[in-house]
Structure 1
């Protein structure tokens, strides 16, 4: 008897020593039946979290539903107003992933916006420089036109001065020519008259 008890205790303790921890899976299936009792056949098995269309409810705790194009009955206690926690968690993780993706897209858009702002600033600076250069070129063109006009005016004034100088020079030449010719003529006349005057004086002096 003692040996039998010892063997039983040894078996119990050895079984406890090798036991491992397990968890219930978060997955269950519930039968949708053709009628409102467990005696009716199962139309299909519905997994936890499956969305169904509620068509009506009976007083004996069954709900008339439609799922996947088929109608049947299921215990009302198997239905709830909100999705299963597992599905809500998956939805939350999906939304969180989408939020992270949106955040990445937002950062990319902000970076692109900053890049476009910098490019816009550079283009505005180039445009301002171009306008300034164009204004300077316009001013230089106007100044060049003014200088050309002044040069033409100076050329006309110089031509008038040359013309006046030539006129004055020609007039001076004419006067000097006339004066020189008159002096020569006077010398010739004086040379012709001087002997006659001397002869006449001699005659007057000889008469005394």
Structure 2
């Protein structure tokens, strides 16, 4: 009869616990203990499972004398049974808490190690970037020097081209001047020839006139002597 009552009570408690999930009371198995979870409140009831220290349990029901509690496993609420409340505690066991703290500490150490690795990688990357920056600055200086040299070399052909243009212009002017002088010389030569022709003609005419005059003078003298 008690067995059936226990089953009925367990069923009712499970239904209420499912309906009021937010009102769960969590208890933990005490330190360094392995306690039995039975089908009833007496030691004569069947042991359903042994619970290890730190096991989290959901309190579904407590007897009037507060000595026994009907619980379910937090990890599997379908597994239910009765345990002694004196073997439970409201907080996780010290060993469990220590394990959690160790796990947290290990996680922190792992994170710290990762951060140190990242820091080393960042420093290495920073050194690489500084080297690249230095190389780029050197390259920029070389390019600037090359640019100055190219500008200087480029200015020489321009200057030479300008000088060639000036020389060509001077040559053209000289050729033009030479042509003008040649033409003037030709003109002057023609005028000199004309002048010599005129002078020669005048001399010839003068000689002719002088000869005629001389002949007449001789004739007159002959007439006188006659």
Q: Same fold (TM over 0.5)?
A: yes
Q: Whose relative contact order is higher, 1 or 2, with alpha carbons under 8 Å and at least 6 apart?
A: 2
Q: State the number of aligned residues.
A: 180
Matches within 5 A, 1:1-208: 28=32, 30-34=34-38, 35-36=40-41, 38-50=43-55, 52-56=56-60, 58=62, 59-60=66-67, 62=69, 64-69=71-76, 70-74=79-83, 75-77=87-89, 80=92, 83-123=96-136, 126=139, 130=143, 148=161, 151-152=164-165, 154-179=167-192, 181-186=193-198, 188-190=200-202, 192-203=204-215, 205-206=217-218, 207=220
Cα displacement (A) at 1:76: 0.9
What TM-score, normalized to structure 1? 0.59
| Counterpart contact for 1:56–1:63, Cα < 8 Å | yes
User: How far apart in 2 are the matches of 1:142 and 1:37?
Assistant: 112
| Counterpart contact for 1:54–1:65, Cα < 8 Å | yes
Cα displacement (A) at 1:184: 3.8
Give per-residue Cα distances to partners, 1:57-95, cap 9 Å, x unaligned.
742265734144133455214952763324422431342
Alpha-carbon distance change, 61 to 166 in structure 1, aligned in 2, over 3 angstroms = farther
The alignment's C-alpha RMSD in Å is 4.1
Gaps of 5+ in 2: 1-30, 222-226
| Counterpart contact for 1:36–1:73, Cα < 8 Å | yes
Other structure's SS at 1:44 match = strand
Alpha-carbon distance change, 61 to 115 in structure 1, aligned in 2, over 3 angstroms = farther
After TM superposition, where is structure 1 displaced by more than 6 Å over at least 4 residues in a row? none
User: How far apart in 1 are the matches of 2:68 and 2:163?
Assistant: 112
Other structure's SS at 2:34 match = strand
User: How far apart in 2 are the matches of 1:73 and 1:146?
Assistant: 110
Other structure's SS at 1:84 match = helix
